[in-house]
Amino acid sequence: DQQVKQNSPSLSVQEGRISILNCDYTNSMFDYFLWYKKYPAEGPTFLISISSIKDKNEDGRFTVFLNKSAKHLSLHIVPSQPGDSAVYFCAAPLRGGKLIFGQGTELSVKP
Amino acid sequence: DTAVSQTPKYLVTQMGNDKSIKCEQNLGHDTMYWYKQDSKKFLKIMFSYNNKELIINETVPNRFSPKSPDKAHLNLHINSLELGDSAVYFCASSQTLLISGTGDFGTQYFGPGTRLLVL
């Protein structure tokens, strides 16, 4: 049972434009969400998080939006840069630190 | 200064062999984890340890045995390797475990991964 879903395996955007990566979840018990970024041959790197008591969290070019009623979150990158090209994972923790990951979305930012 | 390190980075071995992957973190964290990323790129937790105590054992075959000699190390030993064990294994650490009800969460920091290929 896939509790965290990223339905777009890939996304291609032009440099300078906005990248929007989407994530849906099914477990109402999730109260915290994280985005990780992963380059090839490296481990995932924490990018940004959001608590369920908020609907938006911003950090520089990265903003995460949470819509609890729709069980949906999105990561916005503005403006997108070629160095943002990577796989982005949405994740949510359960008790004990068990992170449930989505399948990932591969972002390609073209110069 | 590497925060979470794993050795080896690549491991190619024959079916039936026994192998170990080592993980060390220098972040002073209390909790460490092993994740497996399979051929479909899904990242799934295998184990977590908090202060050397096993917290999560996620229905992993008992051929996989984690060992935490101290808080900074969590090693993974795999007996009788099978073809299906081929994957990338990531170690991670966090300062704390999830504290339920508060939304606090120990952000997990990942190592670079160990690419295991069983022939």
Stretch B59-80: mean pLDDT, rounded? 92
What are the φ and ψ backbone dihedral angles of B45, each rounded to 5 degrees? -70, 145
Q: Is the dihedral of CA B82, B87, B93, B97 positive or negative?
A: negative
Question: Residue B67 is encoded by which pair of tokens?
Answer: 């060992």
The predicted model gives B52-58 an average pLDDT of: 84
- Residue to test with chain B: of A38, A59, A98, most B Cβ within 10 A: A98
Residues on chain B touching A41 (C-beta within 8 angstroms): 112-113
Look at A101 and B92 and tell me if their CB atoms are within 8 Å.
no
User: Measured between alpha carbons, how far is residue A1 from residues A4, A93, A102, B12, B62 in Å?
Assistant: 9, 15, 11, 31, 23
Q: How far is B99 from chain A (nearest CA, A)?
A: 7
Is the pLDDT higher at B52 or at B43? Answer: B43
Q: Is B40 an 8 Å CB contact of chain A? A: yes
Q: Say whether pLDDT at B59 is over 80.
A: no
Q: Residue B14's CB: how many other CB atoms inside 10 A?
A: 8
Tokens for B66, please give them: 């984690």
Give residue-wise pLDDT tens across range A60-84.
999 999 999 999 999 999 999 999 9
pLDDT at B51: 83
Comparing A38-42, A80-84, B17-21, B50-54, the range with the smallest average pLDDT is B50-54
- Chain A and chain B share a number of CB contacts under 8 A equal to 73
Q: Which two tokens stand for residue A90?
A: 């949405």
**Whether A6 contacts A102, CB under 8 Å:** yes
Inter-chain residue contact B4 with A53, CB threshold 8 Å = no
| Mutation for A interface: B74, B105, B109, most A CBs within 10 A | B105
DSSP A98: -
